[in-house]
A and B are shown apart, each in its own frame.
Chain A
Amino acid sequence: MDVNLSLLSIEIATVVLALGVLIIGLLVPKEQKYGLGYLVTIGLAIILFVSFSFYGINTKMFDGMYIIDDYSVFFKQLFLISATLVTLAATLYVKKIGTNYGEFFIMIVFATLGMMILSSAGDLITLYLALETMTISFYILTGFRKGDSKSIEAAVKYLILGALSSGVLLFGLSLVYGMTGTTVISEVALKIGEMASMPPALVVGVVFLVGGFGFKISAVPFQMWSPDVYEGAPTPVTAFLAVGSKAAAFAVLMRVFLIAFPDFSAQWRVLFAALAALTIIVGNLVAIPQTNIKRMLAYSSIAQAGYIMTGVVAANTAGVKGVAFYGMLYVFATIGAFTVVMNFSANTGSDEIKDYAGLAQRSPLLAAVLTVCLLSMAGIPPLAGFAGKFYLFSSIVSQGYLWLVIIGLLMSMASVYYYLSVAKVMYMADPQDDTPIIVPAGAKATLLITMAVTVFLGVYPQPLSVLANMAAKALFF
């Protein structure tokens, strides 16, 4: 058996990190467990730096079942960055939960592992196993506040609807396998190319796949689970769910649709365009009346998924590049915003927008980061979100989807309203209680990093743009 295991060293290192922390957690006494969070952060950061040496390898393992290319490495780095930032920010919040401190970070590492395998999956079975590794970790994380009925409710909802969507996805995968006789994604395309006409069962399979993936990226009309789950889950988990789970689903969705089904892209592109338009409109309009900041961010993240989906509609290198670029800066904006929310609620116990009144006086850092992150999501020019939306929309504008661009632009303008109304509450209103908010050092680091990167990428998007371009080219290689 000739397998070059060193190609898998990122994944192996992640498993070793998770199991190692599990063992250390068993050996040290309870009061010393608070170091485990930092240990996981450092471990993930080291793996992140090692992963840079995997660019340019572009090879397939196990007869095409596992793909190491620039595309997968780019997304692995995206997951590692988000896991690092979330674990760095979450220490105080998880300490307040009180139980199973070490396990929280271990489950985050396992979820990251699932995402990384998902981005590398070249086979439908590997894809499904990786997806379940990720989702099962998230079920546990969502219900982590065992004493809080909202958290349990969110976990149960997520479990039931997640199982349903997995079933839909599996049904789609089995129809694709039944019609083509192979589970390797690149061979599916070859088999479809040999067919004289499209068998109806394959069409049904592809529609089921759109439904299954649509649930994971919370595209309208498959979004009904996400506001409840995002609100009930512990805030660090919400941040990771909004970023990692969504980006992982996009990574694998693009690989499946662009590599396996390019022959009837005309059909599924229309489907995705309709979904994207619906998602952008519903996400933004429903976000406006929200009074709970986590629900507001949940609907805004639904809208963001709609913007990202326009890159899938483009179905070319420029579109994939747009998705990769926007996905990366969405990581920083979302984790920054949720870190503010988690530290605010760890101090005050509230997630209501009206309680953010006068935050600028109580903690200038929190207010500044939240404003920058929200404005970046809205796509205000000097910030990163503008560059991201520019890449996404310019990839489809020349392909007859001008109407989708117009919807995107109009709704971006609408979104400025609810993003700015949070900023207005923070800066204009007077605080009801002006005790300063304590932000621990780890969370402070996360906040500063997310803000700096969001501003930096807006002013100078070149480095990330080059990387994203490389990733997009590798997908079609």
Chain B
Amino acid sequence: MLTSYAGVVVVLIIGFIFPGILLGISRILQASHRNPTPVKLQTYECGLETQGETWVQFKISYFMYALVFVAFDVETIFLYPWAIKFQSLGLFAIVEMFIFIAILVIGFWYAWKEGALEWM
């Protein structure tokens, strides 16, 4: 009875010890807290430093493009299985797909007319 739970205890013990070992090793290896220099305290070891504020405002119209793109992306996902099977599905499926595309085109037309695609 007890032996069947021994595995759990072993995993628990290793689980508690292992993070300690990792933290200990990194403490031994790290140099910056013993000998800090400006280079060692930089955010990135490699890569470009940011210029100015990192909290910048993005243009909201970018998301309009993203939304319109997603609509057409999803349309394509539906078009693929239809394109593979439409010979066996017959006329009904063709008409149905045209209705589906027509609904999307109306939405696209609306977005265009309302100026969602204009970069002001």
Contacts and interface: CB of A to CB of B under 8 A. Distances in A.
Interface of A: 1, 15, 19, 22-23, 26
B105 to A, nearest CB: 10
B113 A26 contact: yes
Interface on chain B toward A: helix, strand, loop, or mixed SS? helix
A1 B89 contact: yes
B106 interface: yes
Given A26-B109, A26-B113, A1 B103 contact: no
B106 A19 contact: yes
Interface string B83-120: 00000011010000000000100100110010000000
Contacts, number: 13
A26 B92 contact: no
Nearest to B93: A1
Contacts of A26: 109-110, 113
B104 to A, nearest CB: 11
Contacts of B113: 26
B77 to A, nearest CB: 16
A432 to B, nearest CB: 43
Contact of B110 (A1, A15, A22): A22
Interface in B29-81: none
A303 B90 CA distance: 53
A15 B103 CA distance: 10
When A and B form their complex, which 7 residue pairs have the shortest distance between CB atoms, in order from nearest? A26-B113, A19-B106, A22-B110, A1-B92, A22-B106, A26-B110, A23-B106
A462 to B, nearest CB: 43
A371 B66 CA distance: 50
A191 B109 CA distance: 47
10 contacts: A1-B90, A1-B92, A15-B103, A19-B103, A19-B106, A22-B106, A22-B110, A23-B109, A26-B110, A26-B113
A23 B102 CA distance: 12
A7 to B, nearest CB: 16
